[in-house]
Each structure stands twice: as C-alpha cells, then as structure tokens.
C-alpha cells in the first residue's frame, strides 16, 4: 500500500513515529518549572506549581530548608499557635509540596542559561536540565562583620547560628553582635545555655521588633552595650577569648573577655548565579515586579533573593505562591501559542507609563 506522498504505509508510519517519538521525547525532556532553593518560598512555589499539574522540579541547594531550618522556634507563622521549630516547618513544607507531585532533588545549581529558550540549568552533580520556566528562591545568607579574627575563629567560638551552636556555650559568657530581630531573638535563645549574654549594638536603639525588645530588656541574663562595635576577635589556644571594641560616639577602644561571638548583622542575597543574566539592584537583590517577574520572560523570583523589606517566613510563602501562579500563567500563554517577546522586559514598572510616574 502506498500513501498519497508516495511512501509505503510502513515507511510513513516509521517516519511519523520517528517524528512523534522525537517530538514527544523532546517535550518530555523539557521541564515545565525548575525551582531553585528549598526555603519557604521554594517549597510553596513547588506546592502551587504541583497543584497546577506542572510536576515541578525543586533543586534544594546546599542549605536545605534555607535560613528557617536553623531557627529554633517559629512563633509568627500563622496556623501554628503553639509554635514549632524551623526544621519541623521545613519538613511539613516538603511533605505538602511532594504530596501533590513536586520532585525534590538534593543538588546545587551552578549555572543557569537564560538567553535561550528552553532555559538550561546545570548542577553540581552534573545534571543538565532544560526548562520552560525558572523560579528563583535562593534566599540569603548571614552577612560577615569582616573584622580580623572572624574567619580564623569561625567554628571556634565565632558563630552565625545560635540554634546550631548555643548548646556548646552552656554556663559560658557570649557576645551577640547586631541590633535587629535576629540578634534579639538569638540572644534570647542563648540565655537557655549561656550564663551571660551581652548584645553589642552600634547605635543607641535596637532595630528589633517591640515584642523582642521587651523580652530582651526583661531578661536578667542579657545586657545591651550601646554604641559599640567589634573591631577584632581575639583568641587563645585556637578558641575565642575576647574582642576589641570601639565606641561609635567617642572612638574609645576597649576589650571584652568572652567565650563566644554570635554575629547577626543582616543578610546578603544568594545571587552568585545571576550577575549579567538577571537584573539585580544595588544591594544584589533580583528586581521583580508585583507578579514576581524578573527582566527575563519566564524567569520568576520569590523570597529573600528579591525581598529586602519583609524577610519573614509568612511573606516568603506568599511570594512563592505568587511566583508559581505567574509561572503557571506564563506556561498557559506558551501552550496557547501566544507570541512571547523574548527580548522585552516583562515587568510592569519597565513600561513607559510607570517609568514616567516614577
Ligand atoms: P537586620 O534587620 O538588617 O539587622 C541587622 C542589624 O545589624 C542592625 O541592627 C544593624 O545595625 C546591625 N549591623 C549591620 N551591619 C553591622 C556592622 N557592620 N557592625 C555592627 N552592626 C551591624 O537583619 P536581621 O536581624 O538579620 O533581620 C533580617 C530580616 O529578617 C528583618 O526583616 C527581620 O525583621 C527579619 N527577621 C524576623 C524575625 C522574626 O520575625 N522573629 C527573626 C529574625 C529576622 P543598625 O540597626 O544600626 O542598622
């Protein structure tokens, strides 16, 4: 039997098969959504993308669970009036995202290629994925003080995580550097173990929320040293023994003997993958609009990589949800065959009208 184009039916079937198989295989080899990061934003993006039937792939990064996983007690995430630990919350996030089909890979993304579509995501374990959308949820990490001795004594008395290391300071004297929520919260946590906790703050007013300030001031183990910065961390026999200080008003120098220095002076966005590829602000956060779109169509971002204002578990969760919903809409447009202008910045404030208003 011969078909209308002159090929035998067998030939035609085999040609069609090859085409169909190739096309199907190609389709199957392209991910709908890759989520980079496993904090509250990442898992929420996974949950929403999975429930949209997109079978998202979530690549955890090296710090599984993000910063919440090193938080001892979470009191301000709604729905858990009794509070719960960071690791417990991360497990719940993961279970819920997986329940609907999120695939979780314990790997680290080392490169993204976003000047072609499908995008490419390469990982430390040697995997190379092609994907129609990316949701960046890489979060942030603690900022260093950058004083002499800090690097040398990290893990030997210098710490950025009271939950992780507080236990080792039972009955000891510790310093906490910083005046924000983290410093206050971690100082309070350290009073479980340490005999004395002194907070060194560079100003005369804490930045921390009122409720945490009240707890700090009411705690007999905590003393706040105002207008004081650490200029050097000193040690003996491979362990911290004290810090050199300076008064920010008078310039007067001093020395404090201590067993540990806990540093909470803010965070830096984990943005190493993005310079030259996605637009960053002067502090290194990805610049997104209210729909969590970056300047590249099909690439979205949520959580602390793009939020320098709120940085709460609750806000990161909301942002992860929004980014997944935007990615879902974007995929619907692709599916419907709508033309995507790959060269145009899709963010709303990039439009001339908003630019003029700004
Ligand atoms: P943060 O709010 O940025 O506070 C950083 C603190 O470190 C500030 O007090 C700052 O002083 C001080 N600082 C910065 N650089 C310094 C330096 N080189 N030397 C000495 N001190 C320095 O950071 P965070 O406390 O990590 O909090 C980050 C975000 O997470 C915030 O939005 C916070 O509300 C949120 N958070 C919330 C909770 C909670 O809700 N329970 C817990 C933790 C964190 P100045 O005050 O003078 O700027």
pLDDT in tens, 94-119: 999 999 999 999 999 999 999 999 99
167, 259: one domain = yes
- Taking the CA of residue 209 as reference, the ligand 1 atom at the shortest distance is 34
Quote the pLDDT of residue 356.
40
Separation in Å, CA 338 to CA 131, 273, 326, 330, 342: 18, 29, 15, 10, 12
Q: Tell the residue number behind the tokens 């000891």, with chain if given.
A: 172
Tell me the CA–centroid distance for residue 219 and ligand 1, in Å. 20
Q: Are 248 and 228 in contact (CB under 8 A)?
A: yes
- Decide if 321 is catalytic: no
Q: Which residues contact 7 (CB under 8 A, 6 or more apart)?
A: 15
Q: Residue 346: is its pLDDT beyond 90?
A: yes
The catalytic position among 73, 115, 164, 214 is 164
SS (H, E, C) the chain: CECCCCCEHHHHHHHHHHHHHHHHHHHHHEEEEEEECCCHHHHHHHHHHHHCCCCCEEECCCCCCHHHHHCCCECCCCCCCCCECHHHHHHHHHHHHHHCCCEEECCCEEEEECCCCCEEEEECCCCEEEEEEEEECCCEEECCCCCCCCCCCECCCEECCHHHHHHHHCCCEEEEECCCHHHHHHHHHHCCCCCEEEEECCCCCCCCCHHHHHHHHHCCCEEEECCEEEEEEEEECCEEEEEEEEECCCCCEEEEECCEEEECCCEEECCCCCCCCCCECCCCCECCCCCCECCCCCEEECHHHCCCCCCCHHHHHHHHHHHHHHHHHHHHHHHCCCCCCCCCCCCHHHCHHHHHHC
> Is residue 191 domain-resident?
yes
Separation in Å, CA 84 to CA 65, 90, 303: 14, 10, 20
Global pTM value: 0.82
178, 227: one domain = yes
What is the domain extent for residue 232? 158-263
| Ranges 12-21, 130-139, 245-254: which has the least confidence | 12-21
Taking CA atoms only, the protein residue closest to ligand 1 atom 16 is 265
> Is residue 311 domain-resident?
yes
Biggest CA pair distance of the chain? 98
Quote the pLDDT of residue 334.
95
172, 229: one domain = yes
Q: Residue 136: is its pLDDT beyond 60?
A: yes
Q: Give the domain-ending residue among 212, 232, 263.
A: 263
> Is residue 38 domain-resident?
yes
Taking CA atoms only, the protein residue closest to ligand 1 atom 22 is 265
Can you read off the two tokens belonging to residue 1? 């039997």
Tell me the CA–centroid distance for residue 95 and ligand 1, in Å. 31
Q: Are 331 and 32 in contact (CB under 8 A)?
A: yes
Quote the pLDDT of residue 27.
60
211, 322: one domain = no
75, 186: one domain = no
- Decide if 214 is catalytic: no
Quote the pLDDT of residue 3.
33
62, 182: one domain = no
Quote the pLDDT of residue 151.
93
Mean pLDDT along residues 296-308: 97
173, 191: one domain = yes
Q: Residue 4: is its pLDDT beyond 50?
A: no
pLDDT category, 348, cuts 50, 70, 90? confident
Tens of pLDDT, residues 212-246:
999 999 999 999 999 999 999 999 999 999 999 99
Helices (H), 191-282: 210-218
Mean pLDDT along residues 116-142: 97
Tens of pLDDT, residues 177-226:
999 999 999 999 999 999 999 999 999 999 999 999 999 999 999 999 99
DSSP one-letter code for 309: S
The per-residue pLDDT of the chain, averaged, comes to 90
> Is residue 146 domain-resident?
no
Alpha-carbon distance of 231 to 233, in angstroms, equals 7
104, 176: one domain = no
Percent of the chain clearing pLDDT 90 (strictly above): 82
How would you class 125 by CB atoms within 10 Å of its CB: exposed for 0-12, middle for 13-18, buried for 19 or more?
exposed
Please provide the DSSP assignment of 96-120 as one string: HHHHTT-EEE---EEEEE-SSSSEE
pLDDT category, 71, cuts 50, 70, 90? confident
Q: Tell the residue number behind the tokens 């990290």, with chain if given.
A: 154
Tell me the CA–centroid distance for residue 208 and ligand 1, in Å. 7
13, 137: one domain = yes
Quote the pLDDT of residue 351.
57
Q: Residue 15: is its pLDDT beyond 60?
A: no
> Is residue 3 domain-resident?
no
Sign of the Cα pseudo-torsion (43, 44, 45, 48, in order): positive
167, 198: one domain = yes
Percent of the chain clearing pLDDT 70 (strictly above): 90
Q: What is the CATH number of the domain that holds 177?
A: 3.50.50.60
Greater pLDDT, 144 or 73: 144
Quote the pLDDT of residue 133.
98
Ligand 1 pocket test, pick from 179, 231, 245, 264 with the greatest ligand atom count within 8 Å of Cβ, gives 179
Greater pLDDT, 287 or 24: 287
- Taking the CA of residue 265 as reference, the ligand 1 atom at the shortest distance is 7
Give the total number of structural domains in the chain.
Answer: 2
> Is residue 164 domain-resident?
yes
pLDDT category, 335, cuts 50, 70, 90? very high
Residues with a CB atom less than 6 Å from ligand 1: 76, 145, 177-183, 185, 202-203, 207, 229, 264-267, 311-312
> Is residue 125 domain-resident?
yes
Q: Residue 274: is its pLDDT beyond 60?
A: yes
Q: Tell the residue number behind the tokens 């929520």, with chain if given.
A: 181
Quote the pLDDT of residue 38.
98
> Is residue 150 domain-resident?
no
SS3 content of the chain, % helix, strand, coil (to 5): 30, 25, 40
166, 311: one domain = no
100, 199: one domain = no
Q: Residue 43: is its pLDDT beyond 70?
A: yes
Q: Give the domain-ending residue among 263, 292, 318.
A: 263
- Taking the CA of residue 212 as reference, the ligand 1 atom at the shortest distance is 41
Alpha-carbon distance of 20 to 89, in angstroms, equals 44
Q: Beta strand 119-123 with 128-136: parallel, antiparallel or unpaired?
A: antiparallel
Tell me the CA–centroid distance for residue 177 and ligand 1, in Å. 10
Q: Give the domain-ending residue among 238, 263, 288.
A: 263
């Amino acid at each position: 039997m011969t078909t209308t184009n002159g090929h035998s039916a067998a030939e035609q079937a085999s040609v069609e098969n090859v085409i169909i198989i190739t096309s199907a295989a190609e389709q199957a080899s392209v991910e709908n959504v890759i989520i980079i990061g496993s904090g509250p934003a990442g898992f929420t993006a996974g949950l929403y993308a999975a429930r949209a039937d997109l079978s998202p792939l979530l690549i955890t990064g090296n710090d599984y669970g993000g910063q919440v996983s090193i938080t001892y007690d979470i009191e301000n995430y709604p729905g858990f009036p009794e509070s719960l630990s960071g690791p417990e919350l991360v497990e719940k996030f993961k279970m819920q995202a997986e329940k609907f089909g999120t695939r979780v890979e314990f790997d680290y993304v080392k490169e993204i290629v976003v000047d072609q579509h499908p995008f490419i995501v390469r990982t430390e374990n040697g995997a190379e994925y092609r994907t129609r959308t990316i949701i960046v949820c890489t979060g942030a990490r603690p900022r260093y003080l950058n004083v002499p001795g800090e690097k040398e004594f990290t893990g030997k008395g210098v710490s950025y995580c009271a939950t992780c290391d507080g236990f080792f300071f039972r009955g000891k004297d510790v310093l906490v550097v910083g005046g924000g929520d983290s410093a206050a919260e971690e100082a309070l946590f350290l009073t479980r173990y340490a005999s004395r906790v002194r907070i060194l703050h560079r100003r005369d007013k804490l930045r921390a929320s009122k409720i945490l300030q009240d707890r700090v001031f009411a705690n007999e183990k905590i003393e706040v040293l105002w207008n004081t910065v650490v200029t050097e961390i000193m040690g003996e026999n491979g362990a911290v023994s004290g810090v050199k200080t300076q008064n920010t008003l008078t310039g007067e120098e001093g020395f404090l003997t201590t067993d540990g220095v806990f540093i909470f002076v803010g965070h830096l966005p984990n943005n190493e993958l993005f310079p030259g590829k996605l637009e960053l602000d002067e502090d290194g956060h990805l610049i997104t609009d209210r729909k969590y779109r970056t300047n590249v169509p099909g690439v979205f971002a949520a959580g602390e990589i793009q939020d320098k204002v709120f940085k709460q578990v609750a806000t990161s969760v909301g942002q992860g949800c929004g980014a997944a919903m935007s990615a879902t809409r974007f995929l619907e447009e692709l599916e419907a065959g709508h033309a995507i202008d790959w060269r145009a910045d899709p963010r709303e404030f990039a439009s001339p009208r908003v630019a003029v208003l700004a």
